[in-house]
Structure 1
């Protein structure tokens, strides 16, 4: 599936400010089951220095520096992305599906960091450990069965809701509140997977639903590393594996490193800023027709 995505963000300050360093995760992933055909980034005011960096996850990020003062900062990222379905998971394994826990010495060293502090003696939030243990019951230590049951339990015990402000909650808080946004559910799944030795990381991007919702928002899900299959996406908010209607912007062991825009500013005491944003997505049908979908929506992170 080929999609043109236009992501705009504008920050307005009520007094002239000096902009500090900014970090952008607005360039979609260009590898694996996702091909980046074109990407254009417009920034106003123009930065004095702009660098592209390759993150540990393999995603490209931009780092910006500015000179002078301004009362407005805007970004427009135009990306043409082609996605394709991943192979069926069971077809990736030469024998039976992987069993849990994976032996740490058998893991690729590149994915060790995605265990995020997992320790054999189980130093985790007790409620998260309990949820992971419940998901293990009846799955015979099989990884795919565990993931399926874990998603079912998360959906049963935590009510999905939109939460537009603030970082992802710690997994223990999400379980206590019994409610959470897509980023909260994703971090809960990450924590549970790490409890049983499954490398897991947080993903931010776009979910191009069919049919399209009234309002699109940034979405979050989880990627799990499975031997012989590699990194594969699972969405605890939607209840299953991701498909070719998901577009990855960035992934990381910690969600704050996937923010679309992060940075600082300095100005007169009490200076406030206001952010507005929109996403447009034009999806090309596999059979060309006049019915390409053009969606313009206010963007809020779920």
Structure 2
């Protein structure tokens, strides 16, 4: 799928403010099953310094610093990407499908941050442990069956709803409330996977569903590391395994590090602000061509 996405943000203040340092996680992934064809980031007021950095996850994050005062802050990210459907997991794993719980010592040490428990001492949330145990039942301890059952159980126990404010809830709260946003369900899946030794991380991006909704929103899902297949996406608030209509922006073992924009401002006491955003998406081509072939043609 080839698509163009325009993501706009508008912050307005009733008095002039000073913008502090900002972090932008708006640049789509340019490797793996996705190729970044074009990316433009327009910011007003113009930063005095704007530079990229490579995050621990491998994503490119942009940092900005500002001088002077302003009563408006406008950001517009325009991206064009080409995605392709990942190879079938059954084909990638063949006879080497991981059996669960997966021994931690068999994994590359680089993955350890994606196995940590949610609690401060590194232990797993008891609710996530119970959920993982339920998904293991009947899975014959096979990873693919476990993931399929985990998605089904989450969808059965938690009703999906939109929630635009606040961080992702931990597993215990989501299961207690029996309702959650896409980021709550994604975090629930991440925590359950980690309980059985499967590294998992949080993903923020776009899901270009069909039919086209009245307006698009940022979406969240999980990526699970399967030895022999690598990082693969799963969306517990939708159909499970992700396809080429998902566009990852930022990934992290900690969901707060995937925010589209983070930053600070300072101004007079009691200064008020308003915020508006929009996401426009256009699918340019639905042909599922190998990225290498199209790259060769473009040269």
The TM tier, using the shorter chain, reads: over 0.9
Matches within 5 A, 1:79-228: 79-117=79-117, 123-228=123-228
Between the aligned partners of 1:247 and 1:283, the Cα distance in structure 2 is 12
Contact 1:25 1:249 in 2 (8 A): yes
Contact 1:204 1:258 in 2 (8 A): yes
Matching residue of 2:290: none
Between the aligned partners of 2:267 and 2:140, the Cα distance in structure 1 is 59
Aligned length: 286
> Cα offset for 1:123?
3.0
Q: TM-score, normalised by structure 1?
A: 0.92
- Does residue 4 of structure 2 align to residue 4 of structure 1? yes
Contact 1:118 1:195 in 2 (8 A): no
Between the aligned partners of 1:130 and 1:79, the Cα distance in structure 2 is 41
> Cα offset for 1:118?
8.1
Between the aligned partners of 2:48 and 2:93, the Cα distance in structure 1 is 49
Matching residue of 2:21: 21
Matching residue of 1:291: none
Between the aligned partners of 2:68 and 2:117, the Cα distance in structure 1 is 42
Contact 2:116 2:124 in 1 (8 A): no
Between the aligned partners of 1:123 and 1:253, the Cα distance in structure 2 is 15
> Cα offset for 1:124?
2.1
Structure 2 regions of 5+ residues with no counterpart? 288-299
Contact 2:14 2:273 in 1 (8 A): yes
Matching residue of 1:283: 283
> Cα offset for 1:125?
2.0
Matching residue of 2:295: none
> Cα offset for 1:239?
2.9
> Cα offset for 1:286?
4.2
Between the aligned partners of 1:102 and 1:129, the Cα distance in structure 2 is 14
260 and 122 in structure 1: CA distance in 2 versus 1, 3 angstrom threshold: closer
Between the aligned partners of 2:228 and 2:96, the Cα distance in structure 1 is 11
Q: Deviations over 1:216-253 (max 9, x none)?
A: 11000000000010000000000310000000000001
- Does residue 269 of structure 2 align to residue 258 of structure 1? no
Structure 1 regions of 5+ residues with no counterpart? 288-302
> Cα offset for 1:50?
0.8
Matching residue of 2:47: 47
Q: TM-score, normalised by structure 2?
A: 0.93
Between the aligned partners of 2:152 and 2:241, the Cα distance in structure 1 is 12
118 and 187 in structure 1: CA distance in 2 versus 1, 3 angstrom threshold: closer
> Cα offset for 1:285?
2.8
62 and 122 in structure 1: CA distance in 2 versus 1, 3 angstrom threshold: closer
> Cα offset for 1:129?
1.2
